[in-house]
Structure 1
Amino acid sequence: MTRNVRIALDAMGGDHGPSVVIPGAALALVRHPDATFIIHGKEEECLPLLEQHPALKAVTTFHHSDVAIRMDDKPSQALRQGRYKSSMWRAIDSVKKGEADVAVSAGNTGALMVMSKFCLRTMAQVDRPAIAAIWPTIKGESIVLDVGATIGADARHLVDLAIMGSAMAQIVFGIDRPTVGLLNVGVEEIKGVEEVKSAGRLLKEGGFPHLSYAGFVEGDDIGQGAVDVVVTEGFAGNIALKTAEGTARQMASYLRSAMSRTFMAKLGYIFAKGAFDSLREKMDPRRANGGVFLGLDGIVIKSHGGADQTGFAAAIDLGYDMVKHDLLSKIRDSLEANFPSATPEPAIAAPETQV
């Protein structure tokens, strides 16, 4: 008999706090009745909402926390003020103590990364963690990492990202050997900065058993679904992510404007409503909400700060799947298979340049 998946929630994170987190958890519980929850937050805001969801309340342990990390706090400031006592820290600490299997927060990304790294530390073979996002494509979905954890990367770190991203792709997509591409300014081997070219040579010549290296990919290849995993450093990855999100909103705005311009356009929309509904569902950011912090000695999921309850439930779903399919063991096995002599690196504070 398998045990329940224990999920720790930072109820005070994000733009909407408990008003989204608790209903989102109730939605996720319907899909995952074997889940239990540990919710950290301010009791005066959380407990009345829990009363509205008796099924969730029955499988929830609540812990009061006076301190909430603000969305505009700098990572160092959040660590000084919220270490040990904030709802964010305590949700992560639940994982460290073995009380929870995964922590989910919609809070400040930089603060969540710094606290996660200080509290959980990184895996022995990993120098710096990364944020992996699920990206909608023409062919389905891909994983892109790093989308904003740390700035800059040497060749070894890019290889680490490829290994960790492929382990996640095995779980999310059910693929034995996911295809991996390095994001670059061109597909030719002579193009790009030296770190990317060196990483390409390592991946090409390394004979990695858990991934299939497909070479360099360009920005437009991401949406085409050219590979299962796209690897880049956090600066470029975050720009790519936010550019894609902005472009999606821009195209949706253009479409709404065009469909309401004339009577014939409105009539055409009525006839094509099914197709537009399908398009809206495909482009709905709530479907793929949730980034996974890879490389930590524990599972942490970052939900979008502006997510509604449906989006937050999707982030919980992602964390549930990572636990059920044993993400940490898959990453450890993959890293050990390729870097058996690696030694632990000391954990240090994440740079203030985090995005």
Structure 2
Amino acid sequence: MTIADVTMAWLRALPKVELHVHLEGALRPETMFRLARRNGVDLGATSAEDLAKRYSFGSFDDFGALFFAGLSVLRSAEDFTDAVVALAAEFAEQNIRYAEVTTSPINHHRRGVRLEEYGDGLNEGRRRAQREFGVDIGWVCDISRESEDPASEFTIGYLLGPQAPDGVVGLGLGGVEQGFPPELFASSFARARANGLAALPHAGETVGPESIWGAVRSLHAERIGHGISCVEDPALVDYLATHRIPLDIAITSNVRLKLVERVEEHPVTAMLKAGLVVTLNTDDPAYFQTTLTDELQLAHRVHGLSRETLVGLQTAALDASYADSTTKAGIRTALAAV
């Protein structure tokens, strides 16, 4: 057994928590192709292998086009359940014990999906994830930045209404940052916080530190999705470190979307050295062809993060999560035994 084999075996067995993974970005080619055939959706592919060749893109816009094409296969409660169960099976293979999974109700509502189908599918998938795989899931339902204000109000109204899925822990904010600063969504996040939901927006992924400042000041963000541009502003780094606001980073995602030129240039090491709270995630694991185990191995191999640091990242994710106390206690005990 080589050193690399030992490392991967250890990484697979490591108890894990993932906080930034999109359900709609986790559809592997096999699942997407199967759902497309069920629903008579023409994806322009003759097989899952053929479809897999399209999981490649040269820009954020190209990725967005692929992402929204994938939405078309999700139509019924059964489809959403199958998507959740497939993701839970991947989690279990990696010993991911708890995950906060982002999903976008507005994107499905706009396509004519009945909210009852959407919510029922997520609920059944979440139940099966726990029952069949021992994986606990919390939902982060996000606002699409491209949405006009009535659409963002739809999202928060849905989350606070009787049709909301079980296990929602927070309100997210995704999509293209350029032209849609966090300040535009302050009222929706204020309503969410007033009703016990955490503020968990993306910020500082495709634009600069001003987006993160806006998320902190206007949305009272409790965690930041990505946030890699914070390193451009020493005052912001100091603020985030002092206030212990976690940043959920995704190395492969940033490289595949050309936000960082090379893995070696990713600021993860600088962020950790600056005392920032960092969690490691996959973002859209199917489209970026990665897993959380792969991301940990990448951080170890390229950035030299030690086993102790990798365990620390999982502890940081656990601390930053909105898992219930029983789940947290169980995972904390498992991490202490590593």
TM-score strictly above 0.5: no
TM-score by length of 1: 0.30
- Structure with greater contact order relative to length (CA < 8 Å, sep ≥ 6): 1
Compare the two structures and name the one with the higher helix fraction: 2
Q: Indicate the structure (1 or 2) with the bigger Cα radius of gyration.
A: 1
